[in-house]
A and B are shown apart, each in its own frame.
Chain A
Amino acid sequence: MAASILHRASGVALSFAGLGILTWWLYAVASGPQAYERFTMAATHPLGLIVLVGVTWSFFQHLLTGIRHLVTDTGAALELGVNKTFAILTFVGSVLLTAALWFYLLGIVK
C-alpha cells in the first residue's frame, strides 16, 4: 500500500523534477562554463540541495519498488509476509543508498 503510493509519488517527482534537472544540467554543460556556474550555484544552494536529495531519494525508491513490481509481476513474492518484508526493504534500502551517496558527495565519508 505505502510502497505502491510511494512508487507513484517518486515516479511523478522523477518525471518532472528529475527529468527537468537532467535537461537543465545537459543544457548548462552545452552552454559553457558561465551557464554551468549558474547551474552549480543553484544546485549547491541549501534549497537546491534539498531538491537534489529528494530527487536522488526518489530515484532509489522508484528503482527498488520498480524491481519489486517486476518480481511481483511474475507472480512471485505475493504472500502477505514476504510482500511486506520486501516493501519495508525498499524503504530501508532507498534511505540507506541516499544517505551513503550524499555522505560521499559532501565529503563526510571518503
Chain B
Amino acid sequence: MSLGDSSTPLGKVRGLGSARHGGEHWLTERMTSIALLLLGSWLLASLLLLPALDQRTLLEWLHAPSGAVPMALLVIIGFKHALDGVKVVVDDYVHGPGNNFVTNLVMLFLAVGGGALALFALARIAFGGVA
C-alpha cells in the first residue's frame, strides 16, 4: 500500500471481479468459517456431554431452544459455507461456461435442498411434542 492510500487490500477488491462480488465471497467464507469454528465446537462438546446418544435424549436436547437454535444456525451457516467452498473448487476444476454454470447450479440446488430438509427435520423436533 502506498502512502496516503487508506484502503485495505480487501477494501480495494470489494465490488470487483467478473460478478462484482469476488471480495464479498472471500469475506463471507471467512466470516462463516469463524461462526462454524464456534458452532462445530458446540456440536462436538454437546455430543460428548450428553448422557446418552439414543433417540429420546437427542429429541429432548434438540426440542429445547438451547439445542434447536445453535443447530439451526449450524445447518444454515454450514450449508452456506459448503456452497461457497465447493464453488471455489468447481471454478478451479470445471471449465467451460456451460459446464461450470450447470455444476454450480446443481451444487446450489443440493445445498438449498439439503439445508431445507435438515431445517424441516429440526422444525419437527423443535415444534413437535416430546411424548
- A contact residues vs B (CB 8 Å cutoff): 8, 11-12, 14-15, 19-20, 22-23, 26-33, 36-37, 59, 63, 66-67, 70, 73, 101, 104
- B contact residues vs A (CB 8 Å cutoff): 30, 33-34, 37, 40, 44, 48, 54-56, 58-59, 62, 71, 75, 78-79, 82-83, 85-86, 89, 114, 117-118, 121-122, 124-125, 128
Could you tell me the distance in whole angstroms from the C-beta of A26 to the nearest C-beta in chain B? 4
A11-B85, A19-B79 known; A29 vs B58 contact (CB < 8 Å): yes
Q: Which of B44, B78, B83, B121 contacts A29 (CB 8 A)?
A: B121
Q: Which of B34, B83, B121, B128 contacts A23 (CB 8 A)?
A: B121
Closest Cβ neighbor of A97 among chain B residues: B44
12 A-B residue contacts at CB 8 Å? Answer: A11-B82, A11-B85, A12-B85, A22-B118, A29-B55, A29-B58, A29-B59, A30-B122, A30-B124, A32-B55, A36-B54, A37-B55
Residues of A within 8 A of B83 (CB): 15
Cα–Cα distance between A28 and B125 once the two chains are bound (Å): 10
Q: Which of B55, B58, B78, B125 has the most CB of A within 10 A?
A: B55
B124–A19 CB distance below 8 A = no
Helix, strand, loop or mixed for chain A's interface? helix
Q: Which of A27, A30, A31, A37 has the most CB of B within 10 A?
A: A30
Residues of A within 8 A of B62 (CB): 26, 29
Could you tell me the distance in whole angstroms from the C-beta of A55 to the nearest C-beta in chain B? 12
A20–B121 CB distance below 8 A = no
A30–B121 CB distance below 8 A = yes
Cα–Cα distance between A14 and B89 once the two chains are bound (Å): 14
- For the complex of A and B, the 7 pairs showing the least CB-CB separation, nearest first, are A15-B82, A36-B55, A26-B121, A30-B121, A30-B124, A23-B118, A27-B121
Could you tell me the distance in whole angstroms from the C-beta of A33 to the nearest C-beta in chain B? 5
B37–A22 CB distance below 8 A = no
Residues of B within 8 A of A70 (CB): 30, 33-34
Given contacts A19-B79, A66-B33, 8 further A-B contacts (CB under 8 A): A11-B85, A12-B89, A15-B83, A19-B78, A23-B118, A30-B128, A36-B54, A104-B48
